[in-house]
Amino acid sequence: MSSAVMRFEYPFNERVRTLLRLESLLDRIHLLAQQSDSRMHQIAMSSLFELLDITDRADIKSAISQDLMRQRQTIAGYADHPTASVQAIEETVQSIDKALEALNNLGRIGQIIRDNDWLVAIRGRLSIAGAAAQIDSPSLLAWQHRSEVRRRADLNQWLLSIEPLRRAIQLTLLLLRQSGESALALAPAGSYQRSLEGKSFHILQVWVDQAESVYPEMSGNKHMMWVRFSRLDENLKIHSVNQEVNFKYALCGL
């Protein structure tokens, strides 16, 4: 495969799907917060509210803690393997322990934001499509006209309050992704399937050359995995691929 490769991921369960969504949101928020444009900072704020919407619907802290403890137990068990690096295992276990401690001490996710009456009001206002306009949210425009240093300080304070969550999500997904062994595959007529023989996995990763101009649509369960390639043409219409596609994949299930 060439160096210009696109990676796609499919979660086998809703818990991992939620973690991947949160990871994407956190990446977006941190990227936008680094910009100087006040409009980017407003979008970062809106994305932060999206993150709270997700965490309000599920006990994210408990789910991540359970995943990390399960991963810790599995990794610690590798120490008995004759070819295992005891030092690497100990370092990973220590990283998990630190992430768990910070997550357990976090309290309610985003509490500093929930305790701010202005942020609560803006969050409610921004739930309405187009309500970021100054006619609906004059105080938001006033905040955007503050100095870049002041806006960055506000954003960094809010982000710092959820940093233990970000680190725990990063570590959970990192360990999951590292558990997969990649393999090259060929999709005849743009379609590929494989029996999983009842084994449980959490993430299916697929890499494809950007030059192929295709993307995978994936599905799976503990019995089978399916990858079907499609193409988006210049007019933004989707077409099924009916030719061979070379790709790489990994099944991750730590």
> Are 169 and 189 members of one domain?
no
Q: Average pLDDT of the chain?
A: 92
**Which of 155, 174, 193 is the endpoint of a domain?**
174
> Are 67 and 192 members of one domain?
no
pLDDT band at 238 (very low <50, low <70, confident <90, very high): very high
User: What's the pLDDT at 78?
Assistant: 81
**Which of 147, 174, 201 is the endpoint of a domain?**
174
> Are 77 and 169 members of one domain?
yes
- The phi and psi torsions of 18 (rounded to 5 degrees) equal -65, -40
Q: Which residues contact 210 (CB under 8 A, 6 or more apart)?
A: 2, 4, 5, 6
User: What's the pLDDT at 154?
Assistant: 95
Q: What would the pLDDT profile of 5-15 be if each residue is shown by its tens digit?
A: 999 999 999 99
**Which of 121, 140, 174 is the endpoint of a domain?**
174
Which residues span the domain enclosing 114?
Answer: 14-174
For residue 164, the Cα-to-chain-centroid distance in whole angstroms is 15
How many domains in the chain?
2
**CATH (domain of 43):** 1.10.3900.10
Q: What would the pLDDT profile of 47-83 be if each residue is shown by its tens digit?
A: 999 999 999 887 899 999 999 999 999 888 887 777 7
Q: What would the pLDDT profile of 130-143 be if each residue is shown by its tens digit?
A: 877 788 789 999 99
Contact 186, 192 (CB under 8 A): yes
Q: What would the pLDDT profile of 15-33 be if each residue is shown by its tens digit?
A: 999 999 999 999 999 999 9
106 lies in some domain: yes
Distance CA 46, CA 130 (A): 12
pLDDT band at 158 (very low <50, low <70, confident <90, very high): very high
> Are 232 and 129 members of one domain?
no
8 lies in some domain: no
21 lies in some domain: yes
> Are 111 and 235 members of one domain?
no
> Are 192 and 159 members of one domain?
no
**CATH (domain of 248):** 2.60.440.10
Computed on alpha carbons and rounded to an integer, the radius of gyration of the chain in Å comes to 22
> Are 82 and 165 members of one domain?
yes
